[in-house]
């Protein structure tokens, strides 16, 4: 990740490819953020906050209004997630990996389709570039981010679903580097799912619910 980041920043600075600084910085901060999340490192949150600001500008310029607005919500959730990972455990301790309870799944199962339909209507009204794709990825991402703030294993399932849609969406909007980033995210999410499931199994084997 470090080598790729240095190479991309250098190529942008030297004008070797037609990629904006916003997309380059978004790639670097986004990749580092997900890598840290896979490793359950709390530094994922401040890096993620920087990434939200960059992508807000990038997506707004590409008329992906839901994804742009999503960055504002991400910023608020990121601040909450940062605190929660550090102090959300028993007695104010660090939060540990857990499975999502059934009630959370029921709530999210209702939220995702309803939010998708509502956002789609809003995006059509404001002439969004890809109403359905933008809406469903926004709904999935919000649900996934909430689960990540709670350090639930299942957050990775929703990120995987969103990334599968994001890659072709960003290619269609002429954001090839961002599409490549989300393809990398997809692979990292698969690794994250495996590692978090292993951490939860180890915790369960130790008798911790």
Which of 7-16, 19-28, 83-92, 112-121 is predicted least confidently? 7-16
Confidence (pLDDT) at 140: 94
- pLDDT 10s digits, 81-99: 999 999 988 888 999 999 9
Q: Which pairs with CB-CB distance under 8 Å and at least 24 residues apart come from 19-28? A: 19/176, 19/177, 20/58, 22/54, 22/57, 22/58, 22/61, 23/58, 23/175, 23/177, 23/178, 24/177, 25/54, 26/51, 26/54, 26/55, 26/58, 26/178, 26/181, 27/177, 27/178, 27/180, 27/181
- Domain-by-domain residue ranges, the chain? 2-205
- pLDDT 10s digits, 152-162: 999 999 999 99
Q: Give the global pTM.
A: 0.84
């Amino acid at each position: 990740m470090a080598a790729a980041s240095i190479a991309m920043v250098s190529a942008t600075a030297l004008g070797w490819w037609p990629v904006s600084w916003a997309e380059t910085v978004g790639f670097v901060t986004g990749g580092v953020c997900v890598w840290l999340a896979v490793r359950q490192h709390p530094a994922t949150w401040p890096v993620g906050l920087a990434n939200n600001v960059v992508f807000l500008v990038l997506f707004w310029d590409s008329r992906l209004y839901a994804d742009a607005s999503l960055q504002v919500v991400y910023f608020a959730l990121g601040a909450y997630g940062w605190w929660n990972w550090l102090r959300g455990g028993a007695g104010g301790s660090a939060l540990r990996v857990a499975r999502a309870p059934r009630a959370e799944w029921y709530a999210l199962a209702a939220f995702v389709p309803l939010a998708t339909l509502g956002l789609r209507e809003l995006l059509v009204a404001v002439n969004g570039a890809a109403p359905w794709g933008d809406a469903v990825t926004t709904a999935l991402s919000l649900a996934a981010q909430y689960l990540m703030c709670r350090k639930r294993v299942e957050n990775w399932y929703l990120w995987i679903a969103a990334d599968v849609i994001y890659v072709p969406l960003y290619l269609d909007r002429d954001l090839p580097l961002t599409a490549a980033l989300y393809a990398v995210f997809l692979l990292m999410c698969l690794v994250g799912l495996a590692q978090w499931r292993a951490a939860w199994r180890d915790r369960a084997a130790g008798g911790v619910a």
